[in-house]
Amino acid sequence: MLKDLDIAPEDPAELRAVNRLLADEVKALTLKVEQLQHQLAGHSRHRFGSKSEGLDQLNLTFQEDEQIAEAAKAQSKPATEAEEDKPARRHSRKPLPDHLERHDEILSPGEECRRCGGALKTLGEDVTEELEYVPGRFVVNRIVRPRMACSCCEAIVQSPLPSRPIDRGRPGPGLLAHVLVSKYSDHLPLYRQSQIFAREGVDLDRSTLADWVGRSTALLEPLADAIGRMVRQGEALFADDTPVKMLAPGQKKTKTARVWTYVRDERPWSGQSPPCVWYQFTVDRKGAHPVSHLSGYKGWVHADGYSGFNGLFGDGKASETACMAHVRRKFVDVFASQGSAIAEEAICRIADLYAVEKEARGKPPDERVTLRQSKAKPIFDDLEGWLHSQLPRISGKSPLAQAIRYALGRMPKARPYLDNGALELDNNSAERAMKPVAIGRKNWMFAGSEGGGKAMAIAFTLIETAKLNDVDPQAWLTWVLGRIADHKINRLDELMPWSYAAQAA
């Protein structure tokens, strides 16, 4: 470089050599500027970067999830084991506030003795109070069961207490549904809910709420598993994952766990199955997890380029279809940081593909294929050829070149959508299913334990499936929790959101 020379060279050969050095340096500096601009633009899209939380805040969520996990284990144990473990329940039971409205339900054994037919007379009564929540207010349901004695044979009879979601517990199904939806749909941690309830004159400790959540999700787990089986019966599904911080007991630091989502949504091609979404929680991102989740599945899987999904695909396994939204996003990042004309052109060409998809939405599969072959295939082929022609014209190390290489690597795996009307151009169905997790982790920050993460996945499965079917999740869960304890395990389809909607109509 000239600054390293004592005098400027006069020999033409030396001048040409210096010119080449300068040109190489300018090229290197230009590439470096592009890379830094690209990185800066990406960082600018994140608001204030990562945030740290105080240990007190971490412990709040950690304790909640630990208690939820313990309660879920207790709910899953046989009744005899649960009785033995009963003293381990640490939360105390306080009287229900006197100011709450009371609704009495009298369960009478009748007027005549079933043994001898004699008249029954009242000896006393047992009253069980159940704290219930109806939208906007608390009420207390009083289940009154008179103890009756026969005037002839002196037999004492009493109606049995009806099944309830939590044995020996006092929450009604509406209150349990309200707590679940508030935590996993409205993203209110349990300690905040406890504070809200206290302002209404109802003292519910956070540990009590955690016990309810754990037992409720354990009770609802078979229903979530049934939704998972429905997802895996589809011709095509959408798969994605997102990170969630998990705090280990006794540690101040968090590790990165994962929430996986699998979506079956046949509405774009007028399929008959109702849409449903299944969530799973794991403590890491190993590829063995999606392979286990989708074991035996042989349909189509929409996925991004994460190598952990590769174990799903191959002979006798599922088939992969790529996501053009991920391809587009690479070019959007380059255009936002550099204003590249090539990136802008790529975005416009991909937009033409989406214009065809807008026209195809809602049509049956054969019509979608015909439309895509006539309109989308020429655009797709031209885009692929045009990207190949642009690559030699730019620096191979630039962000734009990386975006083009990514696109050329994924487009062959996206091409099957042109010939299959049950496939989509992107994986946006799974990405939309991840939004509640992304919003939630801004509030509860992390999962406190693996058990808490599992409860979260069950709740998300139920709540988000209800939303996909335009069903109010709180009303549906109230209905389910009032029935599931006595419901036969082989008739879970009767408890699905679409079954509830059909009965409510």
**Tens-digit pLDDT profile for residues 215-261:** 999 999 999 999 999 999 999 999 999 998 887 666 667 788 999 99
- In terms of DSSP H, where are the helices of 233-313? 288-293
Q: Which of 174, 83, 107 is nearest to 473 (CA)?
A: 174
Q: Does residue 386 lie within any of the structural domains?
A: yes
pLDDT (average), residues 479-498: 93
Q: Which residues contact 29 (CB under 8 A, 6 or more apart)?
A: none
Structure tokens at 464: 């988000």
**Residues spanned by the domain of 227:** 223-448
The predicted pLDDT at position 404 comes to: 96
DSSP reduced 3-state for 495: helix
Which of 52-56, 63-67, 112-116 has the highest average model confidence (pLDDT)? 112-116
Whole-number Å distance between alpha carbons of 37 and 62: 39
Task: Quote the pLDDT of residue 89.
Answer: 47
Amino acid type, 129: E
d(CA 326, CA 305): 9
Bin 491: left if φ > 0, else alpha if -120 < ψ < 50, else beta.
alpha
Residue 123 has pLDDT above 80, yes or no: no
Q: Is the pLDDT reported for residue 6 higher than 90?
A: no
Q: Is the dihedral of CA 304, 309, 314, 316 positive or negative?
A: negative
Number of domains in the chain: 1
Whether 455 shows a pLDDT value over 70: the answer reads yes
Cβ neighbours of residue 433 closer than 8 Å, sequence gap 6 or more = 238, 240, 261, 263, 277, 279, 464
pLDDT tens digits along 440-454? 887 765 666 888 899
Residue 266 in domain? yes
Whether residue 188 is contained in a domain is answered as no
* Amino acid identity, position 474: Q
As a whole number, the mean pLDDT across the chain is: 86
Pairing of strands 120-134, 137-150: antiparallel
Q: Return the number of other C-beta atoms located less than 10 Å from residue 29's C-beta.
A: 10
For residue 493, being part of any structural domain is answered with no
Residue predicted with more confidence, 62 or 308: 308
Whether the predicted pLDDT of 319 surpasses 80: yes
Tokens encoding 247: 């705090």
pLDDT at position 381, please? 98
Q: Tokens 């049995």 sit at which residue?
A: 160
β-bridge pairing 446-447 and 236-247: parallel
Contact 441, 243 (CB under 8 A): no
Is the alpha carbon torsion for 473, 474, 476, 478 positive or negative? positive
Residue 359 pLDDT: 97
Determine, yes or no, domain membership for 401: yes
Evaluate whether residue 363 is within a structural domain. Answer: yes
Contact by Cβ (8 Å): 64, 181: no
Query: What is the distance between the alpha carbons of residues 111 and 114, in angstroms, rounded to a whole number?
Result: 9
Residue 458 counted as domain residue:
no
pLDDT tens sequence across 391-425: 998 888 889 999 999 999 999 999 999 999 999 99
